[in-house]
Structure 1
Amino acid sequence: MSKLIINSFEDFQDYIGKELGVSEYHQVTQDQINLFADATIDHQWIHTDPEKAKAEGAFGGTIAHGYLTLSLVPFLWNQIVQVNNLKMMVNYGIENLRFANPVKVNDEIRMHATLANISDLRGTIKTEMKVKIEIKGEKKPALAAQLIFLYHFQ
């Protein structure tokens, strides 16, 4: 799988309304869920107690935190696009975020990204990306959102 290479605002403009690509699959493990629980101090049993989640939960086992799935966006994004000639990139916002389907322990997820819009704000490039994180073997995505990134090219 090859990354899309973006070197400038003009390169981005060529992709308005087009899919930029799809990441590789990433398996979400119990260890990763536990580490996220420790980092966020969110140890709800549906995430961290496999026995109780299997016996009492609605999903047959533990599920990833929705925000863990969201936090994987930079990792997955970096598999899709390589933006060169940057001073920096800033996460600016998220619109219309929906957690549509829980990610169960050991599920494999991947991200689809489409460039919805781009604008030049006096040298700062604002991109609006429609992203969907799908779960292997599931019809409904884990999440869908519009992410806004600010790129400062050199």
Structure 2
Amino acid sequence: MAITFTNLSHFAAHAGQSLGETDYLTITQEMVNLFAEATGDHQWIHTDQDRAMRESPYKSTIAHGFLTLSLAPKLLAELYRVESVKMGINYGANKIRFTNAVPVGSRLRMAAQLQQVESQPAGVRATIRCTFYLKDVDKPACIAELVILLLD
């Protein structure tokens, strides 16, 4: 269940705390293929299931690292909302690491921590640490420190 903050000052008061963990999401070959179409990244480790079974150390196709990362906005929306915010904008990232492959068929979830909130003229700039985990695997798949602008 998502945390609801009434306004940005309530959100800012949550800095340094967890925003929670999402439910698991299954990564499908269709998701990977659609991402490959959208980005033009058709490398065989993502799209050629037969070759991946024969030649890949994962014995399966794997999701693009940036596909995993691109799930952050959807998954963050499952964790929190700020009622007063009219618009959120991706501002950037301070650090991104793809630390483990995400084989197709894997179940992935994300944990988020609100690290820092800085006032801006029309809202705030928030830094959120997003850690993506595979079900039953200790090593995270991706760790990203994302920066977003929330405007109200």
TM-score (norm 1): 0.95
> 1:103 is matched by which residue type in structure 2?
V
| In structure 1, distance between residues paired with 2:35 and 2:12 | 36
Q: Distance in 2 between matches of 1:48 and 1:106?
A: 13
Per-residue CA distance 1:15-47 (angstroms, 9 max, x = gap): 111101111110000111111111111111100
Residue pairs, 1:1-154, within 5 angstroms? 2-153=1-152
Gaps of 5+ in 2: none
Structure 1 ranges of 4+ moved more than 3 A: none
Equivalenced residue count is 152
TM-fit CA distance, 1:3:
0.6
Amino acid of the residue matched to residue 60 of structure 2?
Answer: G
CA offsets per residue over residues 91-134 of structure 1, 9 Å max, x none?
A: 10111100000100100111101010101122321111011011
Letter paired with 1:12: F
Aligned counterparts of 1:8 and 1:151: Cα–Cα separation in 2: 10
- CA offset at residue 86 of structure 1? 1.8
CA distance in 2, matches of 1:13, 1:34: 38
Q: Secondary structure at the match of 2:68?
A: helix
Amino acid at match of 2:78: Q
Give the residue type in structure 2 aligned to 1:115. L
Give the superposed CA RMSD: 0.9
Q: Secondary structure at the match of 2:78?
A: helix
User: 1:13 deviation in Å?
Assistant: 2.2
Q: Which runs of 5+ in 1 are unaligned?
A: none
1:87 deviation in Å? 2.3
TM-score by length of 2: 0.96
| % same residue | 38
Task: Provide the secondary structure at the position in 1 that maps to 2:54.
Answer: helix
